[in-house]
Chains A and B, each alone.
Chain A
Amino acid sequence: MTATNAQVAALLAMLNADLASLSTPRSAYERDDAPTSGRDYVILDISRMAGGNLRGDVLSPSRWRLTVRPVGSVTNVRALLDRCTNALEHKRVTVAGQESTGISFETESAMSESSSQVGLWSAGRSFTYAY
């Protein structure tokens, strides 16, 4: 089975390679590494989807759903969503030599303001892929 942590590491590397090239470099984080103050960053979550057969230690096909959630001002959230899409959509996640299908867009949520921090907006955009 393709290790979940390794998938996240590969996805973060893809995102960070792109976000670091901005004139003001930005970063994508695991949820628990994300800054507690500060803004203009991206949080990444992934989870396994239904389906797939586990034979030995190989799970095939295994489907995964990833969500990126940029946090910041409204315009920056939109810009970061665009960057994330360019960095991920139709790209493949390669873990230990195994290549995924192309990452495809699934859905996204409307942008909303954090209920705990005024002026901090975010929106989720989710994608799916499979091994």
Chain B
Amino acid sequence: MRLIITHGIGDLARDLSKKPAMARKGFESAVKRNAQAGNAKAKAFASEQHTMFGDEDVTYPPSFTAEARTGLRWEYGPDQSIGDGSQAEGYEHGSINSPPHNDLGRSLDLQAPLLAKDAGDVVDRLFW
């Protein structure tokens, strides 16, 4: 038996017309996944220094949240309306009395390359 598959320019046009929607969905999920993972890392860094065993500002780590601004824009970090989230300024960048903790900065160091890779993978997957 012989099977002949013929692709025309119409098939290509139909396939390509689906790519923008697929790309948007892929990028949105990549940004969401990485924002949540970045928040988990930052929260973990913050937890190292604000433990439940008597350290001050013990409700600082639980104030870390990640939420969507739009589909492609996410924001994560301490929420000043939750617990000790309002202490973020002095912890993240330090103060006269305390060195910078860089919880968010360090989470970005780790997460930013992963976001770049995930974004690249979204493009790769469009054509396979």
User: Which residues in window 25-45 of A have CB below 8 A to B?
Assistant: 31, 43, 45
Q: Using CB atoms, name the residue of chain A closest to B105.
A: A65
Given A67-B94, A69-B94, check contact A45 B105 (CB 8 Å).
Answer: no
A5 interface residue per 8 A CB criterion: no
Q: Which stretch of B3-11, B77-85, B96-104, B116-124 is in the interface? A: B96-104
Q: Using CB atoms, name the residue of chain A closest to B109.
A: A50
Q: Interface residue tally of chain A, by bracket?
A: 20 to 34
A31 — which chain B residues lie within 8 A by C-beta? 99
B93 — which chain A residues lie within 8 A by C-beta? 67, 107-109, 124, 126
User: Which residues in window 109-129 of A have CB below 8 A to B?
Assistant: 109-110, 112, 114-117, 120, 122, 124, 126
A47 interface residue per 8 A CB criterion: yes
Q: B residues engaging A (CB < 8 A)?
A: 89-90, 92-97, 99-100, 102, 105-106, 109-110
A sample of 10 cross-chain residue pairs with beta-carbon separation below 8 angstroms, ordered by A number, consists of A45-B94, A50-B110, A51-B109, A65-B105, A109-B89, A114-B95, A114-B96, A114-B97, A115-B90, A116-B96
A63-B109, A124-B94 known, 20 other contacts, Cβ within 8 Å:
A43-B96, A49-B106, A49-B109, A50-B109, A51-B109, A65-B102, A67-B93, A67-B100, A69-B95, A69-B96, A107-B105, A108-B93, A109-B89, A109-B92, A110-B89, A112-B89, A114-B95, A122-B96, A124-B100, A126-B100
Closest 9 CB pairs of A and B: A109-B93, A124-B93, A50-B109, A45-B99, A114-B96, A67-B100, A49-B109, A50-B110, A122-B96
